[in-house]
């Protein structure tokens, strides 16, 4: 069947074009180059409108009610003219995948590498990132985590200001470029984690409220209005989110999603959005025959989030742990301002390593109240905690976007590597961390609207007041130089001062792969002794109730002091040392700011 109106022919391949717009009584479609008055869509009830499908690569937009300005499709797959322009259809099934033999990866035992497409390479595209995947694979990494790639306002952004969740950013290479990147990752044995944001929408280009009650009236979070997850007409909103999650797995072959700031989701439903998502993703995993993983970022320190549904939990597979970052950061840098105030002692490191969270119902001086809930260490696997010494938030949300490499010496950076890679959790590296990159990673935007750009810059400065950082040094996020300064310098890994650290990370990855003690998911397999005054820590990995997986244990010793320390460590094979330890009667003398790993 062909529809014609005022001489405009409507192409009708299989499928249909549908949109939810309960706020209006009519919706018309404007097809690029066609009649600007639009073609009437059929009202299907419950606020849904439909029309025969468009051909691939067709530009179109919706006219709502008596409106004259076409709006982008809320489920647009492409926005070639930016978030304010017409949408373009894309046939995701037309991509020539070569990963038919890919069976996926489980997160347990894995290592994640986090990267931002725009600053990972000079070109800032998916295709340019493909050229660096061999380097990533050489690190022993098993997952590549990509910061948000859905369409955002302007040409450069972290990605968390996105508005068109179904569209892939054109400046990166669009949906076809993204599929090429995922396919290339799978060819190298790398699984893909896609970072997605469902807790808010960006400040420019968000037309969803024109279509329906997508936002939660009277509720907002740090970044904008909350989504309507539990109010009237919330079911299509929840469907909008969950269908998007399934799209990444099904159409783009990703292996995991990282869910941004789930603590900001306002949802009082009996079966919450996250639990519903976990159920549907699990069902899709069965259908596709490969593991599909959900990783949440949560500020709640509540392990019920990662408790399986059969045990009464939400069913999310894993979550980020900021507490690990904080104890490591303070121990290495001595920085105690703002939210770092409660961390940094050897005791705090020991608690995180053996109990998952530092704040597990304890007083948080930064929040001014108790925070967190104890982890059921007898039933919770350690791999469910994704940990990091550096990540996009903890670097980029500093006043100047400075990495640890800006202030720490080579020995301290190597200690950070050992702490991360030998932890009982799932380690995650931030791009360039593996060689001690000297480039900062700063907050950048490119809002075309001058008033929005200025407001973003002012808000950025205000954010740092509680941390006690020098606000005068905060770079303007709208300046292109802020973005360009954040790009990795790929000549650095070839320099001797960087190559040694890079080699350390690679050797640590081999140890994680070869030594089952280092990936044992039982909390009971990690014991810690320490001395806060002398600033040393000894971690024993392996024995549980006197038994080990292979009859051996791995001991990791750390000297955080700025002078040598002698520790009682039994004899055994030295697997790795970041300094030059000296064997003495009854133990080893570790150099200042060094670590060593011994197998016994």
Q: Which residues are catalytic?
A: 260, 297
Q: Specify the pairing of strand 16-20 against strand 112-115.
A: unpaired
The Cα 165–Cα 195 span in angstroms is: 11
Token reading at 184:
């290339």
Q: Report whether 191 belongs to an annotated binding site.
A: no
Ligand-binding annotation for 394, yes or no, is: yes
For residue 536, give both structure tokens. 């040393």
Q: Is 378 annotated as a binding residue?
A: no
325 is in an annotated binding site: yes
Is 324 known to sit in a ligand binding site?
A: yes
Integer angstrom CA distances of residue 500 from 402, 417, 436, 567: 21, 12, 10, 26
How many of the other CB atoms lie within 10 Å of CB of 368? 8
263 is in an annotated binding site: yes
Residue 67 to residue 381: CA distance in whole angstroms: 54
User: Which residues, at least 6 apart from 7, have a Cβ–Cβ distance to it below 8 Å?
Assistant: 35
Q: Has 161 been labeled as part of a binding site?
A: no
Name the one residue in this structure whose structure tokens are 């009830």.
Answer: 45
How far, in Å, are 141, 197, 278, 307, 339 from residue 258 at the CA level?
17, 9, 13, 17, 23
The two structure tokens encoding residue 232 = 């009237």
Does 106 show up as a binding residue in the annotation?
no
CB count within 10 Å of CB 182 equals: 25
Tokens encoding 31? 């097809």
Tally of helices (H runs) and strands (E runs) in the chain: 14, 31
CA–chain centroid gap for 531, Å, is 34
**What is the distance between the alpha carbons of residues 479 and 461, in angstroms, rounded to a whole number?**
15
341 assigned ligand-binding residue = no
Q: Is 135 annotated as a binding residue?
A: no
Tell whether 522 is in a known binding site: no
Virtual torsion, Cα 157, 163, 165, 166, nearest 10 deg: -100
Asked whether residue 262 is marked as a ligand-binding residue, the answer is yes
| Ligand-binding site membership of 268 (annotated) | no
Closest CA to 351 of 331, 366, 379: 331
Contact (CB, 8 A) for 517 and 554: yes
Residue 322 is assigned to a ligand binding site: yes
- Give dist(CA 207, CA 391) in Å, integer: 31
Q: Is 586 annotated as a binding residue?
A: no
Question: How many residues are there in the chain?
Answer: 600
Binding residues for substrate: 258-263, 322-326, 392-397
Binding site members: 258-263, 322-326, 392-397
């Amino acid at each position: 069947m062909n529809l014609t109106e005022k001489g405009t022919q409507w192409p009708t391949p299989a499928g249909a074009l549908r949109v939810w717009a309960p706020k209006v009584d009519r919706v018309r479609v404007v097809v690029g180059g066609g009649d600007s008055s639009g073609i009437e869509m059929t009202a299907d009830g419950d606020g849904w409108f439909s029309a025969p499908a468009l051909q691939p690569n067709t530009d179109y937009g919706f006219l709502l009610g008596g409106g004259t300005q076409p709006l982008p499709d809320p489920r647009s797959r492409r926005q070639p003219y930016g978030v304010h322009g017409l949408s373009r259809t894309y046939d995701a099934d037309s991509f020539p995948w070569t990963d038919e033999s890919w069976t996926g990866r489980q997160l347990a035992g894995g290592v994640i590498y986090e990267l931002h497409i725009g600053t990972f390479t000079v070109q800032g595209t998916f295709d340019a990132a493909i050229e660096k995947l061999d380097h990533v694979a050489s690190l022993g990494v098993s997952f590549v985590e990509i910061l948000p790639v859905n369409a955002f306002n302007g040409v450069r952004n972290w990605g968390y200001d996105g508005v068109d969740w179904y569209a892939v950013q054109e400046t990166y290479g669009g949906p076809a470029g993204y599929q090429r990147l995922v396919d290339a990752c799978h060819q190298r044995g790398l699984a893909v984690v896609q970072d997605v944001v469902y807790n808010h929408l960006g400040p420019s280009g968000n037309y969803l409220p024109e279509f329906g009650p997508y936002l939660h009236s009277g509720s907002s979070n740090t970044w904008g209005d909350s989504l309507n997850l539990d109010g009237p007409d919330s079911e299509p909103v929840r469907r909008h989110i969950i269908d998007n999650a399934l799209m990444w797995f099904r159409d783009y072959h990703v292996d995991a999603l990282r869910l941004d700031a789930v603590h900001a989701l306002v949802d009082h439903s009996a079966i919450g959005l996250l639990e519903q998502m976990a159920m549907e993703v699990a069902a899709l995993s069965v259908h596709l025959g490969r593991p599909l993983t959900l990783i949440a970022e949560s500020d709640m320190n509540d392990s019920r989030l990662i408790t399986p549904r059969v045990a009464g939990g939400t069913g999310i597979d894993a979550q980020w742990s900021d507490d690990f970052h904080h104890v490591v950061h303070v121990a290495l840098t001595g920085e105690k301002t703002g939210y770092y105030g409660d961390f940094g002692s050897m005791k705090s490191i020991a608690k995180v390593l053996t109990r998952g969270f530092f704040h597990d119902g304890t007083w948080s001086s930064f929040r001014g109240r108790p925070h967190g809930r104890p982890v059921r260490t007898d039933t919770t696997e350690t791999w469910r905690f994704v940990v990091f010494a550096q990540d996009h938030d903890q670097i980029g949300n500093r006043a100047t976007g400075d990495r640890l490499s800006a202030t720490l010496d080579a020995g301290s950076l190597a200690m950070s590597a050992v702490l991360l890679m030998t932890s009982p959790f799932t380690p995650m590296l931030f791009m360039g961390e593996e060689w001690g990159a000297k480039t900062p990673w700063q907050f950048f935007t490119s809002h075309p609207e001058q008033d929005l750009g200025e407001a973003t810059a002012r808000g950025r400065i205000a954010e740092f007041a509680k941390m006690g950082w020098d606000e005068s040094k905060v770079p303007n996020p709208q300046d292109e130089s802020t973005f360009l300064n954040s790009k990795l310098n790929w000549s650095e890994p070839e320099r001797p001062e960087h190559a040694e650290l890079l080699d350390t990370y690679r050797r640590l990855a081999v140890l994680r792969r070869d030594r089952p003690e280092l990936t044992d998911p039982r909390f009971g397999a990690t014991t810690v002794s320490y001395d806060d005054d002398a600033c040393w820590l000894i971690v024993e990995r392996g024995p549980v109730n006197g038994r080990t997986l292979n009859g051996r244990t791995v001991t990791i010793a750390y000297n955080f002091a700025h002078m040598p320390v002698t520790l009682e460590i039994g004899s055994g094979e030295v697997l790795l040392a970041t300094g030059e330890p000296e064997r003495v009667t009854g133990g080893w003398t570790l150099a200042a700011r060094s670590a060593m790993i011994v197998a016994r």
